[in-house]
């Protein structure tokens, strides 16, 4: 899970109040960066070095504004994965859990987790008899071992 601990808590808790404060924080910081660039634009820029530095600041301010929805979307997006009872033809063993990561044309990819190890397993579609999804878990809950079957 990502550092710092408050970010991990924000990703796992799904608390709308915390998400709102996070959004207010990233928008405020983007406004501060843009405000500083705007204030710098009022200054006299004589040398080529200062013009280059100002250009870099403008690019950083634009990137900061453009990344607000990306940063907030990473927190708000409900990354969920279907919990399965079978990986290919094999039943998931007790003490292990499996989630379907990706269903492609030729392969289905599963994330398999036990108390001691994690693995990604790809199974050819032609070897799969059935797909049974028994529930859905948040990706962040799975990574932090809070999902069903991983406690």
What pLDDT score does 71 carry? 82
Q: Say if residue 87 is in the same domain as residue 72.
A: no
Give the confidence band of 134 by pLDDT, cuts at 50, 70, 90.
Answer: confident
Are both 45 and 93 inside the same structural domain?
no
Decide if 148 is inside a domain: no
Rounded to 10 deg, the angle between the 5-13 and 16-41 helix axes is 130
Average pLDDT of span 2-30: 84
Q: Phi and psi (nearest 5°) for 112?
A: -115, 130
pLDDT over 80 (residue 126):
yes
Boundary (domain end) residue, out of 48, 76, 104:
76
Residues 38 and 11 both lie in one domain: yes
Q: State residue 74's pLDDT score.
A: 73
- Its domain, for residue 113, covers 80-143
Same domain, 45 and 69: yes
Q: What is the pLDDT of residues 93-108, one digit of tens each?
A: 888 888 888 888 888 8
Residues 6+ apart with CB under 8 A from 61: 30, 33, 34, 36, 37
Domain finish residue from 51, 76, 101: 76
Question: Are 34 and 89 within one domain?
Answer: no
Note whether residue 61 is domain-resident: yes
Residue with the larger pLDDT of the pair 79 and 137 = 137
pLDDT at 66: 94
Q: Of all helices (H) and strands (E), which one includes residue 96?
A: strand 96-103
| Mean pLDDT within 59-86 | 85
Q: How confident is the model at residue 146 (pLDDT cuts 50, 70, 90)?
A: low
The pLDDT of residue 151: 41
Both 41 and 84 in one domain: the answer is: no
Same domain, 85 and 135: yes
The structure tokens 């070897």 sit at 127
- Residue 132 contacts residue 84 (beta carbons within 8 Å): yes
Instruction: With respect to residue 63, please indicate whether it lies within any of the assigned structural domains.
Output: yes
Mean pLDDT of 53-64: 95
Residue 118 maps to a domain: yes
Asked if the structure places residue 84 within a domain, the reply is: yes
Assess if residue 60 is contained within a domain.
yes
Assigned domain for 151 exists: no
Q: Are residues 93 and 30 in the same domain?
A: no
* Same-domain status, 92 and 138: yes
Count of domains for the chain: 2
Q: What is the pLDDT of residues 24-48, one digit of tens each?
A: 999 999 999 999 999 999 999 899 9
Whether the predicted pLDDT of 4 surpasses 50: yes
Residue 132 covered by a domain: yes
């Amino acid at each position: 899970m990502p550092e710092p601990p408050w970010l991990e808590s924000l990703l796992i808790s799904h608390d709308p109040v915390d998400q709102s404060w996070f959004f207010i924080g990233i928008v405020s910081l983007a406004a501060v960066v843009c405000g500083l660039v705007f204030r710098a634009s009022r200054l006299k820029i004589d040398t080529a070095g200062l013009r280059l530095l100002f250009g870099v600041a403008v690019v950083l301010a634009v990137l900061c504004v453009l990344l607000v929805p990306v940063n907030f979307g990473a927190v708000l997006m409900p990354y969920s994965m279907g919990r399965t009872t079978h990986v290919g033809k094999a039943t998931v063993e007790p003490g292990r859990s499996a989630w379907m990561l990706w269903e492609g044309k030729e392969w289905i990819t599963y994330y398999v987790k036990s108390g001691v190890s994690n693995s990604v397993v790809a199974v050819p579609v032609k070897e799969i008899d059935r797909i049974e999804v028994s529930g859905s878990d948040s990706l962040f809950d799975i990574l932090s071992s809070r999902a069903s079957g991983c406690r």
